[in-house]
A and B are shown apart, each in its own frame.
Chain A
Amino acid sequence: MKPRLQSLSLSVLGGVVGILFFLPLLWVLTNSLRPGSETFAHLTLSWRTFFELKPTLHNYSALLSSDVGRATLNSILVSAATVVIGLAVCASAAFGLAAFEYRGRGLVFGIVVLSFLVPFDAIAIPLSTMFRDWQLTNTFTGLVLPGIGNGMAIFLLRQFFLGIPAELVEAGRLDGLGWFGVFRWIYLPLSRPALIGAGLMLFLFQWQSYVWPLLIGTDAKHILGPVALSNLQGQNFADYGLVFAGAVVLTVIPLMVIAGFQRYFVQSVASSGLK
């Protein structure tokens, strides 16, 4: 009886905490489904604060033609480019660190991982002045570049690559594969889980970035979702229906990506924290 009671109270406690964390998101979702003029009409707290009986998708259709809609597409484009180019760069580097024997390998590995561990935001401002000199402001290249070298992604891929048996490589070499062939046809196909984990890291880094896109890409053509949303919110007579719909879209997209690859996400988090 006692353990059961304990389990019940733990369950209730967990439920209260979980719901507290969830309420802001539920509130955002609810308000994205009602006209902006009604956002503050339901704040005398009742169940109607968190539920809408007559939901409308009006805000979402308005979003499509707004700056935030355009910016969200930019975010998708920039994040996708970051993942594709970033995976190529990081996987190739990890291959260079795992498949060969040479003096100084450990040293190169240390330098690569340590330098990428310097948090990017700390050097965003000096880097942005350099990018200004190089005419990279308001270009997609400028937005994508900082995201493609990711120390954690290289680390994760290298750990995985180290587990690929040398016999496979030798067999491949005997069959006439060049080193690029070994990388492309042996390492990459065997490393799907690690590639997905690393891809998630690259994606989330780019999707969540704010300082960098604020410094480097704020014109109408290159602005990214979070920056556009914060601009919208900063206006004097912001349409909060639109703000909430934008917040939902910018949250649901990464949520779907994480949920789709949940296993790999948890694995990559776990391995980066435990090693």
Chain B
Amino acid sequence: MRKRGQGLIALAFLAPALLCLAVLRIVPAISAVVESFYAESLLRGGRVFAGLGNYTDLVSNKDFRQAVGVTLLFTVLVNPIQVVVSFLLAVLFTQRAMGSKLWRTLVILPIATPPAVSAVIWSVIYRPDGLANGVLERLGLPVQPFLTSSGQVLPSLIVLLSWIGVGYWMLFLIAGIQEVPVEVREAALLDGASAWRRMVSVILPLVRRPLAFVLVADTVSNLLVFAPVQILTKGGPNGNSNLLMYDVYTRAYAIGDIHVAQAEVVILVALTLAIVAGQFRLLRGDQ
């Protein structure tokens, strides 16, 4: 009897959060799935059941197929780069070396910058007469088109996103490395020629958990990249940076086809879940 009373009181404390959860997460998720099976009908005025119509429309749409391709290519490139760089920097900045704390702080600083603000900053850096070309010129290298080149646009976005993200993911890995006893780390370090190799072979297995977390969380956040695309490239040139999240947005609000956009949201979330599930299997299979 007492337990039951406690449950009701607990429910009262939980109620606001559960309400938020229902209204702000579960209902829109369900509504996206439901609406994706409907279409706006001009003839009958209102929405009509369309079955898988929106999905088949999407799959036969060339722009959508290109957006999926671009998103997958981007995913395959950006995540390994960011995870590896974050890990290497985490190892570097947990060594005993002069100024290590200061340098680490400089790498972390960009995480304070909101992604949209970073995108604005880099839009000026990547201008034909911007900072990036200024650096190249100084180094005696030819100037580059960056965002207006089909081949360079994704790498340019990856550099910008890594500038934002690497410091953040590095924090998790540093926390993981610091859990490893100092003696283990230093023993690995002091061993001369193969120090680096040992560092990686000793540290790497010990930070598996934070590393797995970073890989999965980074992948999810990269599948939802939006601000840099909307601010810098509008998906161009020729759709070569048209990531799915931006494609959903333009479909919903520029093209105005909300039902097809909902179907695309469902596909995007399904894709995310599939990739994350795949990563979990891979990580587990490793052990």
Per-residue CB proximity of B255-286 to A under 8 Å, as 1/0?
00010011001001100100000000000000
Contact indicator A18/B6 (Cβ below 8 Å): no
Kindly state the separation between the CA atoms of A101 and B113 in the bound complex, as whole angstroms. 42
Contact indicator A233/B123 (Cβ below 8 Å): yes
Contact indicator A7/B95 (Cβ below 8 Å): yes
Residue of B nearest to A50 (CB): B131
- The reply on B26 being an interface residue by CB < 8 A is yes
A8-B98, A96-B10, A211-B227 as given contacts; A39 in contact with B124, CB under 8 Å: yes
Total A-B contacts with CB atoms under 8 angstroms apart: 267
Kindly state the separation between the CA atoms of A173 and B213 in the bound complex, as whole angstroms. 40
Chain B: interface secondary structure? Answer: helix
Contact indicator A230/B120 (Cβ below 8 Å): yes
A227 in complex: contacting residue of B11, B24, B25, B116, CB < 8 Å = B116
For the complex of A and B, list the 7 residue pairs with the smallest distance between their C-beta atoms, beginning with the closest: A18-B103, A149-B20, A96-B13, A93-B17, A102-B7, A270-B175, A18-B106
B99 in complex: contacting residue of A14, A100, A149, CB < 8 Å = A14
Q: Report B-chain residues with C-beta under 8 Å of the C-beta of A49.
A: 131, 134
- The reply on B18 being an interface residue by CB < 8 A is yes
Enumerate chain A interface residues (CB-CB to B < 8 A).
2-3, 6-8, 10-11, 13-15, 17-19, 21-22, 24-25, 27-28, 39-40, 43-45, 49, 88-90, 92-93, 95-97, 99-105, 108, 111-112, 115-116, 118-119, 121-123, 125-127, 129-130, 145-146, 148-149, 154, 179, 183, 207-211, 214-215, 225-227, 229-230, 233-234, 240, 243-244, 246-247, 250-252, 254-255, 258, 266, 269-270, 273-274
Contact indicator A89/B226 (Cβ below 8 Å): no
Report the interface size class on chain B: 35 or more
Q: Report A-chain residues with C-beta under 8 Å of the C-beta of B119.
A: 230
A130-B27, A130-B31 as given contacts; A101 in contact with B124, CB under 8 Å: no
Chain A: interface secondary structure? Answer: helix
Contact indicator A43/B20 (Cβ below 8 Å): no
- The reply on B122 being an interface residue by CB < 8 A is yes
A27-B131, A154-B17 as given contacts; A122 in contact with B224, CB under 8 Å: yes
